C-alpha cells in the first residue's frame, strides 16, 4: 500500500538526546543533549515524558508558535501503555493520538499526520517518537545495574525524543510518498537478535515501495533503515539481493550512525523508536538542506516484541513503514 502526497512538508524538527548519544558522532546536530538520565525528574519513566515535552517546546520555539496553534499531537514510545507519551500529552494539551509500532513508530506517526494534512482535516501536526535506555532496559530486559553478559547482536536503546512539525507550507523537506508495512515473522525467537527479526520486514517494505512507485533502488540518494544495527544491516543487504535481486548501493542504517560502534560500548548499535528519527531529523536533514542528499527513503523498522510472548516461546513479528523524503528546491 503506497500513498503519494502533494502537499505535506516537514517544516521544522526538534531533537533532544541523553548522555550516551551526546558522546556519539552526531552530537553537534542535535538541538539539545543531557548529561544524566533523569533530566530533573525522579524516575526514568517521568524523565522520558519530560524529554518529549522538551522536544516539543524546542520545535515550537524554532517555529515561533505555541501549543494552541497545533491541531494534532501524535506520539509513541516503548513503555507499557505508551505512558511517556500519554503523560507528556496530558501537559501539552494538544489533541492527541497515541501510537505504537515499536521502533517503526516515528514513520507510522508521519504517515498518519501526512494523510490527515493531505486530506485537509488538519493543518499543523506534531509527530513525536521517543525512547529511554534505562526505562526500556527495565521493562524489556534486566535491571540496569545488572552486568550479565549480552551477545554481540544485541542493541543499545537510544535515549531521546525526535519531533517533526508537519504542515502544508512548502518549506523544509517534502513527504513525497509512503508505504505501509506488513507484519513479517521469519521465526526468530531470540530477543537479542533484533536485526535479524526486523531485516525481512524492512526488505519487504523497500521492495514493495520500489515496485509500487516503479522506481529503482538507485532513484534514492540514500535508503536509510532504522534501526537494524551493524548485524541486521548486513543481513538486509544479503536478503535484498538473495530474495529480490536488488542491490543496495546507497544504503545505511541509523543504529550504526548514532553511536561510534568502535569506541562506545553499544554492541551492534542503537535502537528504540527515537533512533531512526533522531538521526534523520538532525544529520540527514542537515545533509538535505546542504543539497548533499536530495531524495531519501526512510524505512523505520520495529520488532513487535513482548517479553510475555517471548517467554511463551513464540517468534517475534516485525514491521517496517517507509516514507520518501525530498528536499524542497
Residue numbers at the binding site for other proteins (CB under 8 A)? 42-43, 138, 142-149, 151-153, 186-188, 193, 196, 200, 231, 234-235, 238-239, 242-243
Q: Which is nearer to other proteins, 100 or 239 (CB)?
A: 239
Min CB(100)–other proteins separation in Å? 23
Which residue's CB is nearer to other proteins, number 142 or number 216? 142
C-beta of 195: minimal distance to other proteins in Å? 8
Nearer to other proteins, 27 or 142 (CB): 142
C-beta pairs of 23-26 under 8 Å, 24+ apart in sequence: 23/260, 23/264, 24/258, 24/259, 24/260, 24/264, 25/257, 25/258, 25/259, 25/260, 26/257, 26/258, 26/278, 26/279, 26/282, 26/283
The set of residues, in sequence order, having a beta carbon less than 8 Å from that of 49 and lying 6+ positions away, is 41, 83, 84, 85, 87, 88
- Kindly state the smallest distance separating residue 191's Cβ from other proteins, in Å: 14
Closer CB to other proteins, 118 or 185, in the complex: 185
Identify which of 256, 251, 329, 327 has the alpha carbon closest to the alpha carbon of residue 286. 327
Contacts of 96 (CB under 8 A, 6+ apart): 72, 73, 74, 75, 85, 89
Phi/psi-derived region of residue 102, left when phi > 0, alpha when psi is between -120 and 50, beta in every other case: left
CB of 86 to other proteins, least distance (A): 18
42 versus 214: smaller Cβ distance to other proteins: 42
- CB nearer to other proteins: pick between 93 and 242: 242
Pick the closer one to other proteins by CB: 188 or 299: 188
Which CB atom, from 37 or from 283, has the smaller least distance to other proteins? 37
Q: How far is the CB of 293 from other proteins (least distance, A)?
A: 27
CB-nearer residue toward other proteins: 40 or 149: 149
Q: Which phi and psi (to 5°) does residue 146 adopt?
A: -85, 130
* Smallest distance from other proteins to CB 37, Å: 12
CB of 63 to other proteins, least distance (A): 35
The rounded distance, in Å, linking the Cα atoms of 280 and 274 is: 10
- Minimum CB–partner distance for residue 196 and other proteins (Å): 4
Supply 82's cell numbers: 505508551
Residue 238 Cβ vs other proteins, minimum distance, rounded to whole Å: 6
Cis omega (within 30 of 0) on the bond before 54? no
Amino acid at each position: 500500500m503506497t500513498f503519494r502526497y502533494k502537499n505535506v512538508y516537514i517544516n521544522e524538527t526538534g531533537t533532544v538526546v541523553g548522555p550516551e548519544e551526546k558522546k556519539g558522532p552526531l552530537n553537534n546536530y542535535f538541538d539539545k543533549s543531557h548529561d544524566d538520565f533523569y533530566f530533573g525528574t525522579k524516575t526514568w519513566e517521568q524523565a522520558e515524558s519530560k524529554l518529549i515535552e522538551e522536544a516539543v517546546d524546542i520545535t515550537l520555539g524554532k517555529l515561533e508558535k505555541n501549543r494552541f496553534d497545533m491541531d494534532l499531537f501524535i506520539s509513541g514510545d516503548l513503555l507499557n501503555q505508551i505512558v511517556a507519551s500519554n503523560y507528556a500529552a496530558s501537559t501539552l494539551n494538544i489533541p492527541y493520538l497515541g501510537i505504537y509500532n515499536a521502533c517503526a513508530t516515528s514513520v507510522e506517526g508521519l504517515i498518519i499526520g501526512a494523510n490527515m494534512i493531505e486530506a485537509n482535516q488538519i493543518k499543523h501536526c506534531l509527530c513525536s517518537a521517543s525512547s529511554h535506555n534505562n526505562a526500556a532496559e527495565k521493562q524489556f530486559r534486566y535491571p540496569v545495574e545488572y552486568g550479565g553478559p549480552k551477545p554481540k547482536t544485541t542493541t543499545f536503546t537510544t535515549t531521546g525524543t525526535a519531533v517533526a512539525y508537519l504542515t502544508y507550507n512548502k518549506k523544509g523537506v517534502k513527504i513525497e510518498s509512503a508505504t505501509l508495512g506488513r507484519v513479517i515473522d521469519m521465526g526468530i525467537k531470540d530477543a537479542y537478535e533484533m536485526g535479524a527479526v526486523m531485516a525481512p520486514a524492512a526488505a519487504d517494505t523497500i521492495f514493495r515501495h520500489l515496485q509500487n512507485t516503479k522506481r529503482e533502488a538507485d532513484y534514492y540518494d540514500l535508503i536509510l533503515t532504522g534501526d537494524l544495527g551493524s548485524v541486521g544491516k548486513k543481513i538486509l543487504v544479503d536478503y535484498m539481493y538473495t530474495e529480490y535481486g536488488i542491490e543496495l548501493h546507497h544504503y545505511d542504517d541509523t543504529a550504526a550512525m548514532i553511536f561510534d560502534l568502535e569506541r562506545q560500548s553499544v554492541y551492534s548499535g542503537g535502537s528504540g523508536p527515537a533512533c531512526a528519527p533522531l538521526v534523520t531529523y538532525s544529520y540527514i536533514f542537515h545533509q538535505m538542506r546542504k543539497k548533499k542528499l536530495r531524495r531519501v527513503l526512510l524505512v523505520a523498522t520495529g520488532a513487535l516484541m513482548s517479553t510475555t510472548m517471548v517467554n511463551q516461546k513464540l517468534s517475534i513479528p516485525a514491521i517496517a513503514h517507509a516514507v520518501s523524503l525530498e528536499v524542497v528546491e
